[in-house]
Amino acid sequence: MKPAPHLQLLPPIAASPPTPVADDALELRARDGDLAAWSEVYARHYGRLLRQLRHLTGDLAVAEELAQETFAQAMASRARYEPGRSLEAWLAGIALNMARKHWRSRQSTQRAHARLECVAEVHGAGPALDRLHLQRERSRVLYAVLAELPESLREAFTVRELEGMSTEEAAARLAISPGNLAVRISRARARIGAALRALGWLPREGGST
């Protein structure tokens, strides 16, 4: 027997997805030291910061360590965060400073030259390198060359060429004008090209390797 219309089962009410915390509210809670808010900030921004630091350092393990330090530093200095400012940009700035400290603490001209010599020896070992190994060696060479550049040129090249930011985004990240960014990138390319030619990774001008 068919139940009366008013007794028929209604279709189940679909559960509403959890409403994400609005950025403004999340930022204010994070600034107040709310641990749940910081967990959400971490989940939202960790991947992006890790990619940024991976490009800046050339080392995934180092990037992971610096990403953790970035969030620790951000929480410790949360009182200096200005409400209304982009939280993403603020975290990216802290990550950039972490990468700068990393380069300064580990870099010396002699060590960088030693890396270049080591890479040059590997490159000169012959055509036996497979494609994956060759790709890794190219990455090592590039970061060895980057280690020799002044900080301003290295960062400009990294955010524009390796991270693939637009000119406007890269200039904003480094707090310089687009024109200044263009000058730095041009100088960085020239110095990188000269170093790679000297190591045999690019054909010499007017000739071949």
Whether residue 200 contacts residue 120, with contact meaning beta carbons closer than 8 Å, is answered with: yes
Are 145 and 68 contained in the same domain?
no
pLDDT one-digit tens code per residue, 92-142 = 999 999 999 988 876 655 555 666 565 555 555 445 556 777 777 888 888
Q: Same structural domain for residues 113 and 77?
A: no
**pLDDT at site 89:** 92
| Contact assessment for residue 66 and residue 102, using Cβ atoms and an 8 Å cutoff | yes
Task: Give the pLDDT band of residue 6 (cuts 50, 70, 90).
Answer: very low
Q: Are residues 87 and 147 in the same domain?
A: no
pLDDT of residue 22: 57
Instruction: Spell out the residues 6+ positions from residue 126 whose beta carbon is closer than 8 angstroms to its own.
Output: none
Q: What is the CATH number of the domain that holds 197?
A: 1.10.10.10
Task: Please give the pLDDT value at position 118.
Answer: 59
- Is residue 14 a part of any domain in this protein? no
Of 106, 127, 156, the residue at which a domain comes to its end is 106
Task: Note the pLDDT tens digit of each residue in 167-198.
Answer: 999 999 999 999 999 999 999 999 999 988 88
Secondary structure element (H or E) that encloses residue 27, with its range: helix 23-31
The pTM score is 0.69
Q: How many CA atoms lie within 13 A of 62 on its CB side?
A: 17
Element (H, E) at 70: helix 60-76
Cα 35 versus chain centre, distance: 25
| Total domains, the chain | 2
- 63 versus 85: the higher-pLDDT residue is 63
pLDDT tens digits, one per residue of 35-80: 999 999 999 999 999 999 999 998 899 999 999 999 999 999 998 8
Question: Quick one: 178 and 115 in the same domain?
Answer: yes
Same domain, 126 and 91: no
Tell me the residue range of the domain where 116 lies. Answer: 107-204
- Tokens, residue 82: 């200005």
The pLDDT score that the predictor gives to residue 150 is 93
Same domain, 111 and 98: no
Give the end of a domain, one of 79, 106, 133: 106
DSSP class of residue 209 equals -
Domain end point (choices 106, 125, 155): 106
- H helix or E strand, kind and range, residue 108: none
